[in-house]
Amino acid sequence: VKATRQLKQGLIEVEGDTQPELFKAIASAVEVFDEAKCGLCGCEDILPVVRKNKDGDDFFEYQCRGLIKNQEGKTERCRAYLYLGQNKDKKAAGLFPVRALDEKGKPDRTSGKYGRHNGWTRYRGEPKPQK
């Protein structure tokens, strides 16, 4: 069985052998692909990006390309991102957005908190010590 569904970002087609499978496929597609805007600046110019870490693992995230005014009133890139986790289970190797953040703004599924940011953050790790 195939179904198409209109998402904010465009049309998506999913398949399943049974209605429950199809329903799961649609639910997963909506959760992962129906991101409409940056949760911090509200800009709709967001881009799916895949990065690799030094171990060769893929990292999935949406990046905001919007422009914001900084504290000095200058225009700069928003640079917020929404991190997508990946199920370890190979059979259901789906992605899911991580919408909870810890107090520093780091995506944290287990002990993070949900908020108006909807999981979007500018956290990029601890600042490196100056040499």
List residues binding Zn ion (CB under 5 A): 38, 40-41, 43, 64, 66, 78, 80
Task: Give min distance, CB of 30 to Zn ion, in A.
Answer: 21
In order of 86, 92, 99, 112, 131, the CA distances from 121 in angstroms are: 18, 27, 10, 12, 27
Q: Which residues pair with 10 in a beta bridge?
A: 7
Nearer to Zn ion, 14 or 35 (CB): 35
Nearer to Zn ion, 25 or 46 (CB): 46
Structure tokens given for 102: 């810890």
Task: Give min distance, CB of 66 to Zn ion, in A.
Answer: 4
Task: Give min distance, CB of 64 to Zn ion, in A.
Answer: 3
Nearer to Zn ion, 32 or 63 (CB): 63
Nearer to Zn ion, 64 or 84 (CB): 64
Task: Give min distance, CB of 16 to Zn ion, in A.
Answer: 34
E strands present in the chain: 2-7, 10-15, 46-52, 58-64, 67-69, 75-77, 81-86, 95-97, 120-121
Task: Please provide the distance, in angstroms rounded to a whole number, between the alpha carbons at the two ends of the chain.
Answer: 59
